[in-house]
């Protein structure tokens, strides 16, 4: 499972892996009482796979009994010696099985690292009186946060060097670096475990002295009130890891004195906080899968309490931005694909007063708006492609921003100033490295600020990208984004194929550039993103047709895309590889149960595979928030349907592809014991000798290793696993 963030992420991290010595897998169905790796011959040094003991655990609901032989692997404290020994044995076995790829992994790691600019600065973003940016230097794993009074970097001031803070920690993550309105104080959250539970600290930026205030057990972000001494933050339930309480803290007072200003009593909702662009109000965002809402707090009154924009309703989704005396509201009210409305601040609480600004269209999804003093910029999606339009608020004239690639991604970011005359965007395609532009709102003229540097012999002209549509078994056409190296691609079914998918939470994986991916393309791989149902690539109905009681469409789409790509000559049917993480790991688990013969190798990262058991347990982090995504199995209709595809429950005696499974011991989204149990059950049932490898990062969580270079080792291991299976490990 995964929390749907408000921000975009441009790099998928997987779990940290390492390599040691070689050997063969243990035959299926062989049981052992000890979870440790066995060596059966000193002369051949053959290591056997760890076989987990079976302890039957009975679960019954709706008159149906299930026996989970590996339920014992769950340890919420992550301290049980037997479990830790089993996970260590899995790591040792994986290392042993992959020792012959060690040289290839090292080669790939150096390739990936060599393409990255070591001294790399972000594009400054203006907020108040300062321009904020980050700097990466040399072999540093973490950024240095800086600010200056001029976009050129004059009078640069270091705010936070994360490398210094992280030096004594195996894992370290900073979240929510927020500066007070007067620019004199800074708050930031730190996570040293990778459970996404942050301690918020404060610093005086003039003296560099740390303040005594520390806020424990938080989401990591704070929002400053305008008095420069009051902050709002979200506190988490440390069992479910659900952020559900909004507190107000006054600097110089103990956390125990903080005032609770909002508590979410519906455990199917997430809670978020933010601030309007004009700084006048603080937003509390309430969001579940199918319903959402907004409350506002006067940012100028440190004693103000939140006020709902309109009463919350099941099925009503909306969020709000503010310009002058009006709130602009993106909503699904009588609009499946959303529309834009506005309402005067004096008429809050009555949605009958909402006035339409951008109407609903059945084939176009309205995705969001950025407001400026003189312009409104809004984003839409039609036939899977994003467009951005600019409207002059005085003349009401519009123009559409133009881009060159046939399929691309474009994101608005860093537009925090109402009086700006330019729009900041990030643009990328599968052949175009990430590029930052300022676009004049009046003329549409683009000024390129920076393009991601790709070191080495990279030439974009060597690569080609396609957007095609593939007909699924029910006649629906599924978009697919493809990229390959022109001189390596024959379209005769000879190329190895790497197919990626996600397909949940309405999360759309738009085509984007990856310098790491070049290591596959340059070795003749075709890379495909299957934009399957469960995303919003073709609008909100595309999402609705791939969740709850239509979830099987997600798996069918992925399988049907694989079949069509090989039939059409894009990939070799004997060399198809697939990968996905989190809910994409559920996708991997489902497709290898349903169509294992299609795939030579599969990588399932932090996979959500024990769907029914997890969704029946409200003590597990994030479960209750996801009933509208998967269904509530306390209802027999949903129970039966979820059981029909749950990867863990549907493991059967059959031949499975070569499989690499990764997780993090401290994962806060998908608990480590889900993939651990899944691997144990697969090892018991699988009928062939294909590899089944499980790697556990004992120091990381859902996002994998912290640091920009550590994550490259994770990617190198996955690529080496696939290349070796494709016969391209020439060691």
Dump pLDDT digits (tens) for 389-412.
999 999 999 999 988 888 899 999
Q: What are the φ and ψ backbone dihedral angles of 449, each rounded to 5 degrees?
A: -95, -35
Q: Which pLDDT does position 546 carry in this prediction?
A: 98
Quote the pLDDT of residue 35: 35
Dihedrals φ, ψ of 563, to 5°? -60, -45
> Most distant CA pair in the chain: distance in Å?
84
11-23 burial code (b ≥16 CB/10 A, e <16): ebbbbbbebeebb
Q: Name the residue among 195, 172, 175, 218 with its Cα closest to residue 665.
A: 195
Q: Tell me what pLDDT residue 105 has.
A: 97
* Contact by Cβ (8 Å): 485, 463: yes
C-alpha R_g of the chain: 26
Residue with tokens 């078994």: 473
pLDDT band at 537 (very low <50, low <70, confident <90, very high): very high
- Residue whose tokens read 């052992």: 32
What is d(CA 394, CA 515) in angstroms, rounded to the nearest whole number? 43
Residue 423's alpha-carbon distances to 365, 411, 443, 451, in angstroms, are 21, 11, 11, 17
Which residues on neighbouring strands pair with residue 642, listed in sequence order? none
Please give the structure tokens belonging to residue 576. Answer: 């198809």
Mean pLDDT of the chain: 90
Q: Which residues contact 1 (CB under 8 A, 6 or more apart)?
A: 582, 583, 608, 614, 621, 622, 623, 626, 669, 670
User: Contact at 8 Å (CB) between 173 and 191?
Assistant: yes
Handedness of CA 545, 366, 299, 205 (dihedral sign): positive
Question: What band does 702 get if pLDDT is binned at 50, 70 and 90?
Answer: low
- Give the Cα separation of 222 and 631 in Å (integer): 32
What angle is formed at CA 384 by the lines to CA 393 and CA 460, rounded to 5 degrees?
100
- Please name the residue that has the structure tokens 């049981």: 31
Q: Determine the pLDDT at residue 6.
A: 32
What tens digit of pLDDT does each residue of 272-303 get? 999 999 999 999 999 988 899 999 999 999 99
Residue 311 DSSP symbol? -
Identify the CA nearest to 496 among candidates 731, 721, 689.
721
More confident residue, 18 or 349: 349
Contact criterion met (CB below 8 Å) for 659 and 651: no
Positive or negative CA dihedral for 509, 643, 685, 608? positive
Q: Per DSSP, which regions of 31-151 are E strands?
A: 38-39, 47-48, 57-61, 64-68, 120-121, 125-127, 130-136, 144-148
Return the residue matching tokens 């929510």.
Answer: 176
Where in the sequence numbering do the catalytic residues fall? 582, 667, 702
**Which residue bears the tokens 């809004």?**
378
Q: What percent of the chain has pLDDT over 90?
A: 80
- Give per-residue pLDDT as tens, 608-649: 999 999 999 987 766 777 888 999 999 999 999 999 999 999
Q: State the pTM of this model.
A: 0.88
Residue whose C-alpha is closest to residue 581's, from 665, 683, 664, 523: 664
Rounded mean pLDDT of 532-556?
97
Instruction: List, for residues 547-561, the tens digit of each pLDDT value.
Output: 999 999 999 999 999
Tokens of 612: 């029914």
Q: Output the CA torsion sign for 618, 621, 626, 631.
A: negative
Name which residue leads in pLDDT, 457 or 43.
457
98 pLDDT higher than 70: yes
- Helix or strand or coil: residue 88? helix
> Where does residue 278 rank: exposed (0-12), middle (13-18), buried (19+ CB within 10 A)?
middle
Q: Judge whether residue 250 has pLDDT over 70.
A: yes
């Amino acid at each position: 499972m995964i929390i749907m963030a408000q921000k975009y992420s441009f790099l998928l991290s997987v779990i940290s892996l390492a390599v040691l010595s070689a050997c063969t897998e243990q035959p299926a169905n062989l049981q052992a009482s000890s979870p440790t790796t066995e060596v059966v011959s000193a002369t051949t040094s053959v290591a056997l796979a760890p076989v987990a003991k079976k302890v039957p655990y009975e679960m019954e609901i709706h008159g149906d009994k299930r026996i989970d032989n590996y339920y014992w692997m769950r340890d919420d404290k992550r301290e049980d010696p037997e479990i830790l020994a089993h996970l260590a044995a899995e790591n040792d076995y994986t290392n042993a099985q992959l020792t012959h790829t060690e040289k290839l992994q090292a080669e790939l790691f150096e390739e990936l690292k060599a393409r990255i600019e070591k001294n790399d600065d972000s594009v400054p973003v203006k907020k108040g009186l300062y321009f904020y940016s980050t700097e990466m230097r040399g072999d540093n794993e973490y950024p240095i946060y800086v600010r200056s009074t001029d976009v050129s970097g004059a009078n640069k001031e270091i705010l936070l060097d994360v490398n210094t803070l992280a030096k004594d920690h195996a894992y370290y993550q900073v979240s929510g670096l927020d500066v007070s309105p007067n620019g004199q104080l800074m708050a930031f959250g730190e996570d040293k475990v990778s459970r996404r539970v942050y301690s918020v600290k404060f610093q005086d930026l003039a003296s560099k002295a740390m303040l005594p205030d520390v806020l424990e057990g938080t989401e990591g972000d704070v929002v400053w009130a305008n008095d420069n001494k009051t902050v709002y933050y979200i506190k988490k339930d440390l069992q479910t890891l659900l952020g559900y309480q909004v507190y107000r803290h006054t600097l110089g007072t103990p956390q125990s004195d903080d005032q609770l200003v909002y508590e979410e009593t519906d455990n199917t909702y997430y809670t978020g906080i933010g601030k309007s662009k004009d700084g006048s109000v603080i937003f509390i965002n309430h969001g579940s899968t199918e319903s959402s809402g907004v409350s506002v707090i006067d940012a100028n009154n440190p004693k103000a309490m939140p006020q709902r924009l309109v009463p919350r309703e099941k099925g009503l989704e909306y969020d709000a931005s503010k310009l002058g005396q009006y709130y602009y509201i993106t909503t699904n009210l009588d609009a499946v694909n959303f529309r834009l409305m506005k309402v005067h601040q004096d008429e809050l609480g009555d949605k009958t007063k909402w006035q339409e600004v951008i109407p609903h269209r059945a084939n176009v999804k309205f995705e969001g708006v950025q407001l400026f003093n003189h312009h409104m910029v809004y984003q839409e999606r039609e036939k899977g492609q994003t467009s951005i339009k600019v409207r002059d608020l005085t003349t009401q004239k519009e123009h559409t921003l133009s881009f060159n690639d046939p399929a691309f991604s474009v994101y608005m970011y860093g537009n925090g100033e109402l009086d700006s005359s330019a729009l900041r965007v990030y643009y990328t395609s599968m052949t175009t490295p990430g590029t930052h532009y300022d676009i004049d709102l009046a003329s549409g003229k683009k000024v390129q600020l920076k393009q991601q540097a790709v070191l080495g012999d990279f030439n974009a002209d060597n690569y080609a990208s396609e957007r095609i549509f593939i007909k699924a078994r029910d006649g629906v056409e599924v978009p697919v984004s493809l990229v390959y190296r022109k001189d390596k691609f024959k379209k005769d079914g000879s190329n190895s194929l790497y197919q990626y998918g996600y397909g949940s939470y309405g999360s759309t994986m738009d085509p984007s550039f990856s310098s790491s991916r070049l290591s596959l393309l340059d070795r003749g791989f075709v890379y495909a993103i299957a934009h399957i149902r469960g995303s919003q690539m073709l609008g909100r109905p595309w999402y609705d047709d791939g969740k709850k009681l239509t979830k099987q469409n997600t798996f069918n789409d992925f399988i049907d895309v694989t079949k069509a790509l090989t039939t059409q000559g894009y990939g070799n049917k004997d060399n198809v590889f697939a990968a996905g993480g989190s809910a994409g790991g559920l996708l991997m688990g489902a497709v290898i149960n349903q169509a294992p013969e299609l795939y030579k190798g599969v990588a399932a990262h932090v996979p959500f595979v024990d769907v029914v058991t997890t969704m029946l347990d409200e003590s597990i982090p994030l479960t209750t928030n996801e009933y509208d995504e998967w269904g509530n199995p306390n209802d027999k209709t949903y129970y039966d349907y979820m059981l029909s595809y749950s990867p863990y429950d549907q493991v059967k005696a059959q031949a499975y592809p070569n499989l690499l499974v990764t997780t993090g011991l401290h994962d806060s989204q998908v608990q480590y014991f889900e993939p651990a149990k899944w691997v144990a059950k697969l090892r018991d049932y699988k009928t062939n000798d294909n590899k089944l490898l499980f790697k556990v990062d004992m120091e990381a969580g859902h996002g994998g290793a912290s640091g920009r270079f550590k994550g490259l080792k994770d990617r190198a291991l996955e690529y080496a696993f696939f290349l070796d299976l494709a016969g391209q490990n020439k060691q």
